[in-house]
Amino acid sequence: MFLRRRATQAEYFDHPDRTASELRRHYEALNRINRRIRFERPFRVWIPELLGKAACGNLSLLDLGAADGLLGRELTAWAASRDWKWEFTNLDLCPVAAEMDPGPRHRTGSVLDLPFPDGSFDCVIASTMTHHLERDEDVVTHFREAARVARRLVLICDLHRNLPFLAGLWAYVGLAGEGRELRSDAVLSVRRGWRTDEWRRLVDAAGLAGARVWKEHGTRILMSLVK
């Protein structure tokens, strides 16, 4: 049945033939959509909820698959409006993302082998990055690596794989006037997305005792680990 299994075919913008200017345009389009859908919302809600507001005054955070770091900029500004100091380090595999990131702390590298010692950051987060991993064993490594470098919290958010969301996203990206490639990648992203039982199995395989997995608003899947 359609969507019963996740797709593993590569997204257009993950192909190694994409040029730097194509990737730049892609990241700009992604940022336009992310701003409209308020993609930082789950992190605004869940970081204070899971850590407690009193613990949020001063946090170091690592964003995995951060692209040009928009999520960190939005969350830093939001935290500052509450007199909280949140300091982001961004990590992404793509060197074009590093060139586009205006922030002071960006590392080019893989979520599968994080270039940081154990417990380097208060919080480790990721937004719509995990579905870019094809193999289950890589997702297990990604979860373990995130937990290794986190002192207090891991919060990972991705796309839930279901038909109403897929249709809605396809229509939304089309109505927003974005290009054909982005529209087809948006659909493929949902097809590469997850169900809660799949993440539960991968979290257990990673040995993350106490981790929680849940679905929100029919669109998102989240995993949290409070240490």
Ligand X SMILES: C[S@@+](CC[C@H](N)C(=O)[O-])C[C@H]1O[C@@H](n2cnc3c(N)ncnc32)[C@H](O)[C@@H]1O
Signed CA dihedral, 133, 138, 139, 145: sign only: negative
Contact set for ligand X, span 149-208 (CB under 6 A): none
Contact between residue 130 and residue 155 where contact means Cβ atoms under 8 Å apart: no
- Report how far residue 214's alpha carbon sits from residue 200's, in angstroms, rounded to the nearest whole number: 9
Task: Kindly state whether residue 97 participates in binding ligand X, applying the rule CB under 6 A.
Answer: yes
Contact between residue 153 and residue 51 where contact means Cβ atoms under 8 Å apart: yes
Q: Pick the closer one to ligand X by CB: 127 or 224.
A: 127
Contact set for ligand X, span 41-70 (CB under 6 A): 65-67
- Report how far residue 3's alpha carbon sits from residue 163's, in angstroms, rounded to the nearest whole number: 7
Nearest to 135 by CA among 225, 227, 8, 2: 8
Task: Kindly state whether residue 110 participates in binding ligand X, applying the rule CB under 6 A.
Answer: yes
Binding string to ligand X for residues 114 to 153, with x set by CB under 6 A, is what?
A: -------------xxx--x---------------------
For the bound state, the minimum distance from the C-beta of residue 71 to ligand X, rounded and expressed in Å, comes to: 6
For the bound state, the minimum distance from the C-beta of residue 29 to ligand X, rounded and expressed in Å, comes to: 11
3-state SS assignment for residue 8 = coil
User: Which positions lie near ligand X, rule CB under 6 A?
Assistant: 30, 34, 39, 65-67, 71, 92-94, 97, 110-112, 127-129, 132
